[in-house]
Amino acid sequence: MKKLFSMLFIVTLLGLVFTACGNDKDEPEAPKAQNLESVHEQGEHYFVFDIDKNKDKGTIYMYQIQFAPGAPKMDLRVNVPASFNQSSNVYTLTGTGLVAERYVESMESDNKWVPMPGDQYKLNDLMCTVNPSAKQYSISFTAHGGKFEESGKLK
């Protein structure tokens, strides 16, 4: 009888051990990073959203962006805090007082991204949502005395 209880006890312990040791891959793993580009025609402005969920940050690249009619077109990037809503699969990037960096071709330096000088070039009230499933984005911010708003499709 004692031997039977010992065997039942050992079998029960083994069952508990194997039940507790689940596979970490049981739940689908969300992507750690996304690099999403907006749909655009040749010569038009466009965006690339480079988002790293694990670090809660993202970089928005803005190509051929123009803040006012007649102003020069620029290539800019800005680092932004990011969050991810797993249930809706939407990235949200928000911030204010963000320093944009401008891409500058320079023979003197390897660093091609240079911070824009002055408060007028800071991006304020930035609100950006990116939905990879629906292949849509929206972005709005104020900078250089004006408001920029756009929504569109992702590639």
Segment-wise mean pLDDT, segments of 10 residues, the chain, 155 residues: 62 57 50 75 86 84 84 88 87 92 74 76 91 92 86 92
pLDDT the model gives residue 72: 81
Cα(128)–Cα(67) distance, integer angstroms: 17
Q: What pLDDT shows up at residue 80?
A: 93
Confidence at residue 27, expressed as pLDDT on a 0 to 100 scale: 45
Domain boundaries, given as residue ranges, for the chain: 32-153
Cα–Cα distance for residue pair 93/107, rounded to 1 Å: 33
Look at residues 47, 40, 66 and name the one whose alpha carbon lies nearest to residue 137: 47
pTM: 0.72
